[in-house]
A and B are shown apart, each in its own frame.
Chain A
């Protein structure tokens, strides 16, 4: 097992994450390199909740961000019942802004429409653009645990052939 796969995986909706792999040329020799397995984890913070996200692609990262938000809002299995879906298209000035806008868009839709996105199908993602369909159960209450995704300590960097991000959520 590669070092990257040793990341702590939380139980819950991110169990289905797929690992990304790739081949990278180094001077004088060929080495196998494993891009980060899509994952999220919660980091300690005295007042709020920070999350660390990893993935092989920007799309992976955004998907993990949505799953981390869902797990935080409604731990465990989503409630049974009808689902709805929502197309989401966003543009942002940069990668970090895209992550903040993505999380805040999910929070807005969840609270306005009493719905919790628990599954994401990213159709297209670049450093500054995402087009996706979000699926999740309709709730009889508005999930408003998280107030917003903040810019404090935000990073979204290349990491071991993929990406790693950290973002602080205001609870």
Chain B
């Protein structure tokens, strides 16, 4: 079996079946020469080839240009398995189920915000439980938590935390219908009950940004973006609840693999046939955790709106542009085949013709958000119809790490990173100096290069570039 032919193979790097033991389908990575060299430096390619050995894997596995070594799946990996005879792998989703990004647009210009930027970032930092904080203001009892797990952002309607318009601009309306709270363990619920509306730590953030360049004015207009406009990007996921769901099901499936006669090159690829009760139960739990993540970003949206209102008055006009997951498994039909598409550190990038592209964006394709790394730009792209054939309708999810956390800390201290960002006019709040050092811009690949490959390979197309002016790091 060979990888699908493409019209433009400039950025295509193929690993054929047989290159590594056990591969059932080829692996393809989209990268230019420089990114390919970076990808080859760690074990990401080995991991992608391991994924190509999963039972029922379809056609080809894909690596995005931001791909780097993870655990089990590489970060920036896409794999589709057939519902009829394939598996679902919690490792193909990751511990942070439905980690994702939401972009808010506003009626504000940079000039109108600049005099009160410091106060705005302070207010956001004060209001958003971040780092290691839980959120006692929103501690949920079992009934309320189950409602969030079942209905996602929809459970927040009528509580002053969400509007129908917000939901219309969220992937899947912010609620996955296959969610079952009963599939989520009491331990997962115990971890998550007071974490709704929290940012978490690691690479999670809220950024205040400015649209500094448009590349596709038609799509930008559809997304509500204009040059000089202030936007807010929210990056977080399902917190401890999602982490525990993954922990629970990886352990469960590992014990059952011999009974299914499944041999794997990496235990973190633990999986279950989609047709088994265990596979179905994980999918239901994953959907519930994903709903928690949608609701989490929705509550943070309400917090951001309150902070803007407190500092800048009632006319900020913060609207949800879109909310997209980058750690998820979705049931999708491709080429007439029902598939479970695992995107681990990869974003859906559906084009204008896809029925799941939101109605407001049918003319241009769904928004795709590529966060930068504090000092560097973030990008808004639009999905393309041709991406369906290129990558099961997927694009990258970020710049991708280039340095280990240890190396990043050795390169610059948290204080040095803070001073450098402030020198660029970026106001920074971070609970941990170590966290700031580990997430320094130089720890990541060149986001402009990554986005250019995505654009030129046809996975998604450039719409706008956003420059950070305020950063709240988890």
Given A148-B95, A152-B267, A108:B191 Cβ within 8 A: yes
Contact with A along B174-198 (1 / 0, CB 8 A): 0000000000000100110001000
Chain A residues touching B, range: 20 to 34
Do B131 and A141 touch across chains, with their CB atoms under 8 A apart? yes
User: A45-B404, A46-B404 are contacts. A114–B134 as well, Cβ < 8 Å?
Assistant: yes
Cβ-Cβ contact count across A and B, 8 Å cutoff: 97
Q: Tell me whether A45 and B69 are in contact in the complex, defined as CB-CB below 8 angstroms, given that A142-B132, A148-B95, A151-B270 are known contacts.
A: yes
Q: Within the complex, what minimum Cβ distance (angstroms) separates B239 from chain A?
A: 7
* B244 CB–A CB distance under 8 Å: yes
Q: Is the interface of A mostly helix, strand, loop or mixed?
A: loop
B72 within 8 Å of A by Cβ? yes
Task: Give every chain A residue within 8 A of B434 (Cβ-Cβ).
Answer: 75
Query: Does A170 reach chain B (CB closer than 8 Å)?
Result: yes
Q: Which of A102-160 contact B (CB under 8 A)?
A: 104, 107-108, 111-112, 114, 141-145, 147-148, 150-154
Which of B247-255, B347-355, B357-365, B373-381 participates in binding chain A?
Answer: B247-255
- In chain A between 34 and 54, which residues have their CB closer than 8 angstroms to a CB of chain B? 42, 44-49
Q: Give a binary string over A60-98; 1 marks a CB under 8 Å from any B CB, 0 the rest.
A: 000000000000000100000000000000000100010
| A7 adjacent to chain B (CB < 8 Å) | no
| Chain A residues whose C-beta falls within 8 Å of the C-beta of B266 in the assembled complex | 151-153
Per the bound structure, the CA–CA distance linking A141 and B240 in Å amounts to: 14
Are A108 and B134 within 8 A (Cβ)?
Answer: no
Could you tell me if A142 and B244 are in contact, using CB atoms closer than 8 angstroms? no
Residue of B whose beta carbon sits closest to that of A108? B187
Chain A residue nearest in CB terms to B254: A151
Interface residues of B in 4-51 (CB under 8 A from A): 42
Which residue of A is nearest B406, CB measured? Answer: A44
Closest A residue to B188 by beta carbon equals: A108
Contact present for A150 and B72 (CB under 8 Å): yes
Selected from A45, A46, A93, the residue in CB contact (under 8 A) with B402 is A46
Which of chain B's residues has its CB closest to A93's CB? B255
**Contact assessment for B254 and A171 in the assembled complex, using a CB-CB cutoff below 8 Å:** no
**Does A168 make an interface contact (CB < 8 A)?**
yes
A47 touches B69 (CB 8 A): yes
CB distance from B91 to the nearest CB of A (A): 8
How far, in Å, is B440 (CB) from chain A's closest CB? Answer: 14
The 8 Å CB contact of A108, one of B71, B72, B244, is B244
A145 to B239, CA, bound (A): 10
**Closest A residue by C-beta to B264:** A151
Contacts of B200 in A (CB 8 A): 144
Expressed in whole angstroms, the Cα–Cα distance for A114 and B403 within the complex equals 31
A3 to B132, CA, bound (A): 39
User: Which residue of chain A is the closest to B248 with respect to CB atoms?
Assistant: A104
| Docked pose: A171 CA to B407 CA in angstroms | 15
Please name the residue on chain A nearest to B70 by beta carbon: A47
Bound-state CA distance A170–B247 (Å) is 11
Q: How far is the CA of A50 from the CA of B68 in the complex (A)?
A: 15
What is the bound-complex CA distance between A44 and B270, given in angstroms? 24
Query: Which residues of chain B are near A97, meaning CB under 8 Å?
Result: 251, 254
B94 CB to nearest chain A CB (Å): 8
Closest Cβ of chain B to A108, distance in Å, is 6
Contact assessment for A111 and B191 in the assembled complex, using a CB-CB cutoff below 8 Å: yes
> CA of A47 to CA of B399 in the docked complex: distance in angstroms?
12
Nearest Cβ on chain A to B122's Cβ, whole angstroms: 19
Known: A44-B404, A108-B187, A141-B133. A148 touches B254 (CB 8 A): no
Considering only residues 19-47 of chain A, those with a C-beta below 8 Å from chain B are 42, 44-47
Most chain B C-beta atoms within 10 Å of own C-beta, residue among A48, A145, A152: A152
Report 26 cross-chain contacts, Cβ distance below 8 Å, ordered by A residue: A44-B407, A46-B42, A46-B69, A46-B401, A47-B75, A75-B434, A93-B255, A100-B251, A107-B243, A108-B187, A112-B187, A112-B191, A142-B132, A142-B134, A143-B132, A144-B201, A145-B132, A147-B96, A147-B240, A150-B95, A152-B70, A152-B71, A152-B72, A154-B267, A168-B71, A171-B202
Given contacts A108-B187, A141-B132, 7 further A-B contacts (CB under 8 A): A46-B402, A47-B68, A47-B70, A141-B134, A142-B132, A144-B240, A170-B243
B-side residues, CB < 8 A to A, are: 42, 68-72, 75, 91, 94-96, 131-134, 187, 190-191, 195, 200-202, 239-240, 243-244, 246-247, 250-251, 254-255, 266-268, 270, 401-407, 434
User: Which 8 pairs, one residue from A and one from B, show the smallest C-beta to C-beta distance?
Assistant: A152-B71, A151-B267, A152-B268, A150-B71, A147-B95, A147-B243, A44-B404, A151-B268
